[in-house]
């Protein structure tokens, strides 16, 4: 157990910012109100994961839920799992209820007690589920915006080296383990140990795992599944049966790889918990975990705070002087590439190509950092050379190779557009850290001051003949009052003559800039 300041990495120069160009580090800022995990690679903030303790995430949690509504028209069902909004279960994810283990758990609540889904011909949701039925489900995607959680009947239980799928007869090997001989060897190891009918996926970190460690992980997951089945018979419905590890322990489980140089945390209590967890599940990484107690906050020491703030900006500058603009919308995210201040040194085509190639790496980083998902359209600067277009596409694929989220990329269109999708399991960084503007409501625009002034004039003109009295009081935001009393003073005088009313403007400091009150006085 060690107590250190921010540990100097091997070969690091004594500068304000540690030289981490050769390493990948995990930095954890843990407080009583929020936990933040930064993945730093080549000196850059690559990913940021946040968990507000008042808004703890639920992905990976397992619930015994009750079917609230079955929707044959879209082959899906809403399931009450005890959260604020019902979860959403698609037909493909509901089919797992026909596994033997699942039937043992839900005996007495099924429509069809022993018909495996492989024997069904294109089953519909109403042949599998009924309203009021109790089913075991896991959250596969966090609630986002007004949408409830996405649910699955395919339960998965991860640990450091393996992912256990108790309801699926399958053996999988991480696609990042590319050597076929190694893949087959790992597959044979799992086959020799797993119970019949169950499934396991070998994670990337387990490429060189020994048999004893593999067997220990498998035994732990099997005991965990037995415990879940036991709790399912006792919990009231809807109810939580299993809660996944908190975000910090998941960081050790999911992010720590053989390329990770260090994990630095600034909370003593959580540091002790990490050491205990590592001692049990990954003893070889204990020496890479250190406690930071420096005077300067950890994220400021590594200049992470500045990187986080810049990740909320629409415009991202490239080193060459070019820039990209990132515009999330309701349906998709649009990214535009521009040459900006970069004018190149030779010809236009080369300038465009270099700007696009530099943008490729930055776009890949921003997708991960901002956790952008769904449909993404990238407007690269148009290139006529077919070879350059192919090089750009290949470079973009390579830049996204280490992205843990599933991505699908189409080749450049005739207009220089790349269409892609990226799977998102939780809210984007902007959705997590920001809220809609009180003025524009998230539109990005509000009515101009002059537009609001003219609305007021039209209202007075319309109502003047219907309402008696000789005076009108207009209560408005100070900015609107300033325009009415200065730039629009001639219009007000004309309106007074036309309506035969005396108009008084009263600024109200705390009034919304779009609101106004027109009060008619005797």
Which residue spans within 72-203 are E strands per DSSP? 76-80, 87-90, 134-141, 150-152, 157-158, 162-165, 171-173, 199-202
Residue 48 backbone dihedrals phi, psi, to 5 degrees: -130, 125
Quick check: is 444 in a domain?
no
Burial of 222 (0-12, 13-18, 19+ CB in 10 A): middle
Instruction: Record the tokens describing residue 474, joined without a space.
Output: 């207009």
Residues 299 and 319 in one domain: no
- Tell me, yes or no, whether 394 and 262 share the same domain: no
Token digits for 317? 């500058």
How far apart (Å, rounded) are the C-alpha atoms in residues 343 and 327?
25
Q: List CB contacts of 105: < 8 A, sequence separation 6 or more.
A: 136, 229, 232, 233
Same domain, 102 and 221: yes
**Statement to judge: residues 212 and 328 lie in one domain:** no
Q: Which residues, in sequence order, are CB contacts of 117 under 8 Å at separation 6+?
A: 95, 96, 98, 123
Q: Confirm whether 18 is domain-assigned.
A: no
Say what the pLDDT of residue 492 is: 92
Strands 87-90 and 150-152: what pairing? parallel
Instruction: Give the tokens for residue 251.
Output: 């960081």
What's residue 102's pLDDT?
60
5 lies in a domain?
no
Residues 385 and 471 in one domain: no
Specify if 9 maps to a domain: no
Q: Which position has the token pair 């950890």?
A: 298
Residues of the chain under the 50 pLDDT cut:
1-23, 106, 108-120
Last residue of a domain, one of 242, 263, 291: 242
What is the structure's pLDDT at 117?
45
Give the dihedral of Cα atoms 401, 244, 435, 38; nearest 10 deg. Answer: -50
DSSP conformation letters of 264-322: EES-HHHHHHHHHHHHHH-GGGGGGEEEB--SS-HHHHTTHHHHHHHTT-SEEE-TTS-
Is 80 in contact with 238 (CB distance < 8 Å)?
yes
The CA distance from 463 to 447, in Å, is 22
CB distance 205 to 259 below 8 Å: no
CATH number of the structural domain spanning residue 500: 3.40.1260.20
Nearest to 160 by CA among 282, 50, 46: 282
- Between the CA of residue 337 and those of 326, 346, 379, 431, what are the distances in Å? 9, 20, 6, 23
**364, 489: one domain:** no
Q: Reduce the secondary structure of 13-74 to three states and give it as a string.
A: CCCCCCCCCCCEEEEEEECCCEEEEEEEECCEEEEEEEEEHHHCCCCCCEEEEEEEEEEHHH
Residues 75 and 134 in one domain: yes
- Are 69 and 44 in a shared domain? no
Last residue of a domain, one of 219, 242, 265: 242
Task: Please give the pLDDT value at position 108.
Answer: 43
Within this chain, do residues 196 and 340 fall inside the same structural domain, yes or no? no
CB contact set of 147 (below 8 Å; sequence gap of 6+): 85, 88
From the list 180, 177, 147, 148, the residue with the least C-alpha distance to 161 is: 177
- In this prediction, residue 122 carries a pLDDT of 65
Domain count, the chain: 4
Q: What is the pLDDT of residues 12-67, one digit of tens each?
A: 333 344 443 334 789 999 988 889 999 998 778 998 988 887 666 788 899 988 99
pLDDT at site 6: 34
Q: Is residue 204 located within the same domain as residue 347? A: no
Q: Which domain holds residue 251?
A: 24-53+246-303
| Residue 77 lies inside a defined structural domain of this protein | yes
Structural domain includes residue 186: yes
Is 487 among the domain residues?
A: yes
Buried b (16+ CB within 10 A) or exposed e, 8-33: ebeebeeeeebebeebbbbbbbbeee
Q: Are 335 and 374 in contact (CB under 8 A)?
A: no
Do 120 and 192 fall into the same domain? yes
CATH number at residue 298: 3.30.420.60
Residue 201: give its domain's CATH number. Answer: 2.40.50.140
Does residue 441 lie within any of the structural domains?
no
Of 221, 242, 263, which marks where a domain is finished?
A: 242
Say if residue 178 is in the same domain as residue 68: yes
DSSP string, 365-379: HHHHHHT--EEEEEE
């Amino acid at each position: 157990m060690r107590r250190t300041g921010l540990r100097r990495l091997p070969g690091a120069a004594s500068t304000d910012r540690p030289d981490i160009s050769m390493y990948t580090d995990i930095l954890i800022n843990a407080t009583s109100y929020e936990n933040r995990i930064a993945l730093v690679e080549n000196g850059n903030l690559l990913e940021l994961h946040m968990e507000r303790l008042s808004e703890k995430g639920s992905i990976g949690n397992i619930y015994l839920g009750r079917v609230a509504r079955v929707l044959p028209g879209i082959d899906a069902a809403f399931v009450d799992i005890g959260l604020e909004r019902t979860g959403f279960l698609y037909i493909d994810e509901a089919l797992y209820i026909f596994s033997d283990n699942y039937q043992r758990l839900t005996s007495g609540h099924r429509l069809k007690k022993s018909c495996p889904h492989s024997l069904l011909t294109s089953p519909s949701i109403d042949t599998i589920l009924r309203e009021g039925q109790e089913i075991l489900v896991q959250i596969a995607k966090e609630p986002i915006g007004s949408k409830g959680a996405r649910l699955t009947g395919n339960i998965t239980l991860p640990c450091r080296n393996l992912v256990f799928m108790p309801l699926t007869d399958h053996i999988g090997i991480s696609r990042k383990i590319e050597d076929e001989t190694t893949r087959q060897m790992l597959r044979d190891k799992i086959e020799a140990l797993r119970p019949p009918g169950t499934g396991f996926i070998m994670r990337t970190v387990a490429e060189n795992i020994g048999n004893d460690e593999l067997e220990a992980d498998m035994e732990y997951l099997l005991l965990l599944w037995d415990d879940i089945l036991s709790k399912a018979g006792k919990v009231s419905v809807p109810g939580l049966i299993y809660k996944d590890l908190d975000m910090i322990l998941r960081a050790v489980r999911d992010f720590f790889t053989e390329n990770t140089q260090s994990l630095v945390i600034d909370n003593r209590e959580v540091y002790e918990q990490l050491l205990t967890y590592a001692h049990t599940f990954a003893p070889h990484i204990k020496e890479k975990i250190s406690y930071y107690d420096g005077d300067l906050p950890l994220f400021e020491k590594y200049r992470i705070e500045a990187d986080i703030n810049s990740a909320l900006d629409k415009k991202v500058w490239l080193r060459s002087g070019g820039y990209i603009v990132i515009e999330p919308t309701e349906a998709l995210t649009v990214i535009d590439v521009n040459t900006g201040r970069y004018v190149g040194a030779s010809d236009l085509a080369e300038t465009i190509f270099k700007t696009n190639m530099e943008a490729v790496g930055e776009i890949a980083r921003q997708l991960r950092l901002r956790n952008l998902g769904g449909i993404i359209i990238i407007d690269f600067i148009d290139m006529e050379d077919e070879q350059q277009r192919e090089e750009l596409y290949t470079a973009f694929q390579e830049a996204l190779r280490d992205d843990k989220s599933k991505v699908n990329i189409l080749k450049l269109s005739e207009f220089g557009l790349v269409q892609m999708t990226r799977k998102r399991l939780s809210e984007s960084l902007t959705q997590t850290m920001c809220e809609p503007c009180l003025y524009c409501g998230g539109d990005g625009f509000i009515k101009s001051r002059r537009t609001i002034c003219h609305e007021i004039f039209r209202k007075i003109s319309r109502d003047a003949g219907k309402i008696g009295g000789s005076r009108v009081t207009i209560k408005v935001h100070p900015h609107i009052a300033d325009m009415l009393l200065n730039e629009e003073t001639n219009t007000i005088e004309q309106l007074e003559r036309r309506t035969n009313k005396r108009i008084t403007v009263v600024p109200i400091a705390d009034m919304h800039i779009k609101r106004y009150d027109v009060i008619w006085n005797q």
